[in-house]
Amino acid sequence: MALPTLTGVARLVDDPELRFTPSGKPVADIRLAFNSRRLNPQTQQWEDGDTFFVRGSAWELHAENIAESLAKGMEVMVSGELRTERWEKDGVKHERPALMIRSIGPTLAYATAKVTKSTPGQNGGQGGGQARGQAQQGRPQQSRPTQPPADDPWAIDNAKGYSDEPPF
């Protein structure tokens, strides 16, 4: 049986936390809050209902793009598989729900976003307004390719700054 999939609109509780495994793979941890709001017909005021908090995680380039693009308080559309994290601390067993994020991005209902394509080894995204590049703990500096691959259909025309032609 497959894990259940969760797709919905959530709000970031904190800035995404980017860390690196001992082998150097980036992983982003994200705390998300899903809540139900409803309009009270008697008072004509919005009221918060139940809230579901869940930790999400994403790996590799996806993790780097999330850390570069998203920030605390943003409303996001997210999709992923629900799973249970289990661990033991001081002899006590713990567990909590977790979300393996497959897709995430800002909702455009109350915000705008500028999307740029990123390639492996190059941070991209809409920019979260903070210089997170300097705050990455213990991450070795890597050389970044200056040109996209020749067969990249979304490559940018450096003379114009964009491509007028669709890649299909």
Largest CA distance in the chain: 62
pLDDT of residue 15: 96
Statement: the pTM of the whole predicted model exceeds 0.95: no
Q: Which of 9-13, 61-65, 160-164 has the lowest mean pLDDT?
A: 160-164
- Asked if residue 161 is part of any domain, the answer here is no
Count the alpha carbons within 13 Å of 118 in the hemisphere toward its beta carbon: 20
Q: How far apart are CA 102 and CA 56, in angstroms?
A: 10
Provide the number of structural domains found in the chain.
1
Residue 119 domain-assigned (yes or no): yes
Distance (Å, whole) CA 92 – CA 58: 27
The boundaries of the domain holding residue 109 are 5-135
CATH of the domain at 29: 2.40.50.140
81 in a structural domain? yes
**pLDDT mean across residues, the chain:** 78
Rg (CA), the chain: 19
In this structure, is residue 150 part of a structural domain? no
